[in-house]
Chains A and B, each alone.
Chain A
Amino acid sequence: MRLVDAPVKVASPGGRPARFRWQNRTYRIARIIDQWSYLGRWWAGEGEWRFFRVETADGGLFELYLDVAANQWRLYRVYD
């Protein structure tokens, strides 16, 4: 398991991730395994992060999150 926490481009029709591009490669999401919401340090101005644990078509396991306030997707973790 590796912590990445880097911005990624995600296609998310209806707010749910369908594909993302990372390290010059596009990953198609086959299944959303789990999703949850995390509220960070609200007292320091952090907002909601919406997490998705996904399995890609090629069998990879990733965690993506949407920083709702910044409307920015990030790849959080990769399960090698």
Chain B
Amino acid sequence: MTDAGFVHLHVHSPFSFLDGASAIEELVRRAADLELPALALTDHDNLSGAVRFVQACTAAGIKPIIGCELTLADGHHLLALATSPKGYANLCRIVSAAHLGNPRGEPRAAWDDIIRYKEDLLFLSGCRRGEIPALLYQRRFREAEAAARRYRDMLGRDRFLLALEATELPGQHAVNQALVELAERLGLTAVATGNVHYTTRERHPVHDVLRCIALGLTVEDPHPGRPFNDQRYLIPPAVMRERFAWYPQGLANTLAVAERCQPALVLGRRRHPRFPLPPGQTAQVLLHQLTWSGAEQRYGRISPALRERISSELAIIDQLDMADYFLVAWDVVQFARSRGIRTSGRGSAADSVVAYCLGLTDVDAFRRNLRFERFLSIERGEPPDIDIDLEAEHRDEVAAYVYERYGRDHVAAVATYHTYHARGALREVGKVLGFAPEEIDAVAKRMPHLPADAIERALHRYPELRAVSFEGPRRRQWLALAQALAALPRHLGTHSSGLVISAEPLLDVTPLQMSAKGVVMSQFDKDDVEALGLMKLDLLFLRMLGAVNTAARAIQRHDPGFDYDRIPDDDPRTYQRLRRGETIGAFQLESPAQRALHPRLRPREFEDIVASVALIRPGPIKGDMVRPFIARRNGQEPITYIHPKLRPILEKTYGVVLFQEQVIEIAREIAGFTPGEADRLRRVMSSFRSQAEMDRIGEQFVAKAIAQGCTPEQARTIFGYIAGYAGYGFCEAHAASFATIAYKTAYLLEHYPAEFYAALLAHQPMGYYPPNTLLWEAKRRGVAVRGPCVNKSAPEYTVEADRAIRVGLRQIRSLSAATLAAMLDARAERPFTSLADFCQRVAPLTIEEAEQLVLAGAFDAIHPNRRALLWQLPALLGDARRAREAQRHWDLRIEAPPVTIEDFPLLERDLREYYALGVTVERHLMQHWRRHLRKRGVSTCAAAARLPHRHPVTAAGLCIRPHRPPTKSGRTVVFLTLEDETGLIDVTVFEDVYMRWGDDLFVSPLLLVSGKIDRHGEGVSITAERLAPLVPPGTLAAVL
């Protein structure tokens, strides 16, 4: 051991959730600076930080000690440290039982479990919340000694240690002395500890704020759960020596503990499950059989080239022993299909012909000449990433099958950490510091979605934050503390799609706990489970797949021959629609950028759709690939290659770098990168975080390209393509996979708008536009839309016999599932005849539910005056309740008291409808301002779209999805869509206009835009010169 002569054995990271204020990496770095030979991690009741702790310690050359601060059944604390992999597995079992055997969020470790699994664990008596120290603080010495004897006898003399603390609390010194006396009397070892919750004393306020958040306090509220002082830092060994000058053995004993703790968490060992096979069968043989029979179905005739490709893929899979992995995924897809659940493979799995033959993907990697190495390579040797999209509403059904298939002790959901972003950090810190709710709202509502540590920079960058001030000491403190929460995990959640499957019982590898949605989940996130060598299967839910199924069923009611899977792939009307950019609702093709692209790209075949899906991504946009691609595709610019080796790589994309695979191939062909180097390049690009890292790989690329025969200029230019692409781009396989759904949904949009829009509305939230925009787009397409009706609406949006869309009841705000079910039951007996009849026959029914039903227009067919119905409600509900309580069913004929009152003014009626329903059915909200706008010469969106290029224009509308995507220049450009009763028009706001007029842009539901018309092919947009809220901000805040 080193000169430090001490090791911290009681350390909390942010994974103690709201009780740790320094990142694991910072704790480890500080420990390395202090030359500590080892460091323990002892978060509260979980091991979530263990994997990254081991990784950080290994990188820093420090020995990691994995442990946990357990909360016992009586609330006392007990520290446990693992001395071996067996100890780690035992700790996983104790922690899991503590979670799974108690209400969620209240883990309690049971003594029975601790005793059963105590092997290869060391236990420390804990902080002042440990039973023994707590008794000593209360000067109950005899009871403390009895407890210590009990612990010693249950755990074993060699496993139980008494922990002295150096956190400078009142009475602590006497307690420490008493603990040493106890140790001597009972033959136990006493160790000196801190109680670390952050690196240095300066982080104490952050820790205190976190505790206040956890306890729901402001800083002015005293509470024993808050830190007393700033001594929970990583106390340097020299200070520990001073504090334990009276008992140096306590320090030396920590080194002995560290010696006993051998590596407990082994990373990188493969723990993939074995696919359950029939007797005598091997996974390899079965995979080969399934692949070849799938190939026959997919291709019919297997050419020699195809045979060679499949054989080579299978050989790599065999060599890497990944057959089971493919079979597990195949089995899941088989199950889904057997239940009629639509699936679609995404990601790099579509680079594999084997995956295509197995039905995991629908992209023909052989015909598209996609490289298998991107999916799986011998050099990388990493498990492949098979992501399966499923209909959202059936995703859990498929997940349940996986649990059953591999055993509940071998499958769990993957965790995810929710970390602080700017808005949440400002809200929570503001509350703790005692700011008024309205002050907090005024700041948080204007804050863009940013990491918490970017707030200060954002203040100078975004005009909507001009109204936000952090002047004065209190507000500066608010800002500083909110920023300090950046990247700290707030709580553990369930990953939406990831399942972990293990060959060995999961409890040997990961602690488990219950998620909020009631599934068992690992305490590790997706990166951690991969580092642990577990198999991760992503079962994603894609709402569009559900919408497609719903639409197909509705279409088949009047067109029984319709088959989604046999939609013709060359439908001229669909391509015409794409070229007009009229694709609101189409999967991946509906955003303003996509709708602006298509009139210029003029798609006429499927490959154009693949390209467009890949083009509108941050990588190609920032790399300035869009304009050259369009020009070359349309023959307006010659296709050139800066180096002849680029031709075969970029030929199919007209010499432009469009797909991730092309970047990799360029690196290999031009610079001779090994597959490993090329993969590193891909990772640097796809999670572009460090310019320095990109520069380093650029130097390597240029040097190697020159060595391969490029001129320096060529090498630098080609790397420029790659560096420009950095950020996020699609791989071709993924783009092709999405393009298939994109084309088919555009087909549905063209031929079956009522069914498709109804299905989209029924499966919200999904896609780019809010429901109101979709509903009005359907109306503009000539589809009749009818409001909700207590007698006629189904729970979801439906298409009625005359192909009109009927709004579903589930859209109504506050309507509970129980009330909806009661409504449907009562209606099945006979239709409702009045509001009184409804109140009598539907229970449970709250006044809030009844009000929202009225305001949504669900009673319009019975009584059109919504305000009059609202007046009647309290009396009707009261009478109905009293009658039910008296069980006087025979005289329940309550009559509505006559109310003579005028209905709401139309604007108020529509605003209330919008609040209740999220849409307006009869009138578009903009119609209320139309007369006024016409007088001021303000165009409708449709009229604006007819104006010639560069024509001045002023238009107004609902401000839809204002956003700031990355741009090539790095300057801020805001894109938004204006929507009114006539249609939509996209608006581009360049930085100078945004900075001058953008104060209220992100908080104004209704916007007035002046500028010039910009025509590009058949596309049209407004380039803004001036912006203003149509109504003062906040006027409609409660509704819009």
Q: Which residues of A contact B (CB under 8 A)?
A: 34-39, 41-43, 45, 48, 51
Q: Which of A34, A39, A51 contacts B174 (CB 8 A)?
A: A34
With A34-B174, A43-B219, A43-B477 given, name 17 new contacts (CB 8 A). Answer: A34-B170, A34-B172, A36-B169, A36-B170, A36-B229, A37-B229, A37-B230, A37-B231, A39-B227, A39-B228, A41-B220, A42-B204, A42-B205, A42-B208, A42-B230, A45-B473, A48-B229
- Tell me the nearest residue of chain A to B481, going by C-beta: A43
A-contacting residues, B160-189, CB 8 Å: 168-174
Using known A-B contacts A42-B205, A43-B205, determine if residue A35 contacts B173 with beta carbons closer than 8 Å: yes
B440 at the interface (CB under 8 A from A): no
Name the A residues within 8 Å of B219 (CB-CB). 41, 43
B706 at the interface (CB under 8 A from A): no
- Tell me the nearest residue of chain A to B169, going by C-beta: A36
CA–CA, A37 to B171, complex, Å? 11
* A66 CB → nearest B CB, Å: 13
- Tell me the nearest residue of chain B to A43, going by C-beta: B219
Name the B residues within 8 Å of A48 (CB-CB). 229-230
B433 at the interface (CB under 8 A from A): yes
Q: Is the interface of A mostly helix, strand, loop or mixed?
A: strand
CA–CA, A42 to B168, complex, Å? 17
CA–CA, A6 to B665, complex, Å? 77
15 A-B residue pairings within 8 Å (CB atoms): A35-B168, A36-B169, A36-B170, A36-B172, A37-B168, A37-B231, A38-B228, A39-B204, A39-B228, A42-B204, A42-B208, A42-B230, A43-B219, A43-B433, A48-B230
Q: Which residues of B contact A (CB under 8 A)?
A: 168-174, 204-205, 208, 219-220, 227-231, 433, 473, 477
CA–CA, A32 to B798, complex, Å? 81
CA–CA, A80 to B101, complex, Å? 52
The 5 A-B residue pairs whose C-beta atoms are closest, nearest first, are A37-B168, A37-B229, A36-B170, A39-B229, A43-B219
Name the B residues within 8 Å of A43 (CB-CB). 205, 219, 433, 477
Name the B residues within 8 Å of A36 (CB-CB). 168-172, 229
Q: Is the interface of B mostly helix, strand, loop or mixed?
A: loop
On whether the beta carbons of B230 and A34 are closer than 8 Å, the reply is: no
CA–CA, A41 to B231, complex, Å? 15
Name the A residues within 8 Å of B220 (CB-CB). 41
- Tell me the nearest residue of chain B to A44, going by C-beta: B219
Most chain A CB within 10 A, of B168, B205, B477, is at: B168
Q: Which of B170, B208, B227, B473 contacts A51 (CB 8 A)?
A: B170
* B167 CB → nearest A CB, Å: 8
* A9 CB → nearest B CB, Å: 24
CA–CA, A43 to B219, complex, Å? 8
CA–CA, A43 to B220, complex, Å? 9
On whether the beta carbons of B171 and A38 are closer than 8 Å, the reply is: no
CA–CA, A35 to B167, complex, Å? 11
* A35 CB → nearest B CB, Å: 7
* B483 CB → nearest A CB, Å: 16
CA–CA, A42 to B211, complex, Å? 14
CA–CA, A41 to B173, complex, Å? 25
* A55 CB → nearest B CB, Å: 13
- Tell me the nearest residue of chain A to B478, going by C-beta: A43
- Tell me the nearest residue of chain A to B209, going by C-beta: A43
- Tell me the nearest residue of chain A to B227, going by C-beta: A39
CA–CA, A38 to B208, complex, Å? 13
CA–CA, A41 to B433, complex, Å? 11
- Tell me the nearest residue of chain B to A50, going by C-beta: B168
* A23 CB → nearest B CB, Å: 25
- Tell me the nearest residue of chain A to B473, going by C-beta: A45
Name the A residues within 8 Å of B168 (CB-CB). 35-37
Name the B residues within 8 Å of A45 (CB-CB). 473
Most chain B CB within 10 A, of A36, A37, A43, is at: A43
CA–CA, A51 to B473, complex, Å? 28
* B22 CB → nearest A CB, Å: 17
Name the A residues within 8 Å of B477 (CB-CB). 43
Name the A residues within 8 Å of B227 (CB-CB). 39
Name the A residues within 8 Å of B205 (CB-CB). 42-43
On whether the beta carbons of B173 and A38 are closer than 8 Å, the reply is: no
CA–CA, A42 to B230, complex, Å? 10
* B59 CB → nearest A CB, Å: 33
CA–CA, A43 to B168, complex, Å? 21
Name the B residues within 8 Å of A38 (CB-CB). 228-229
On whether the beta carbons of A34 and B228 are closer than 8 Å, the reply is: no
* A39 CB → nearest B CB, Å: 5
CA–CA, A42 to B228, complex, Å? 11
Name the B residues within 8 Å of A34 (CB-CB). 170-174
Name the A residues within 8 Å of B229 (CB-CB). 36-39, 48
CA–CA, A43 to B229, complex, Å? 13
- Tell me the nearest residue of chain A to B231, going by C-beta: A37
- Tell me the nearest residue of chain B to A38, going by C-beta: B229
Name the B residues within 8 Å of A42 (CB-CB). 204-205, 208, 230
CA–CA, A51 to B204, complex, Å? 19
* B247 CB → nearest A CB, Å: 16
* A21 CB → nearest B CB, Å: 25
CA–CA, A45 to B205, complex, Å? 11
* B996 CB → nearest A CB, Å: 37
Name the B residues within 8 Å of A41 (CB-CB). 219-220
* B802 CB → nearest A CB, Å: 65
CA–CA, A38 to B171, complex, Å? 13
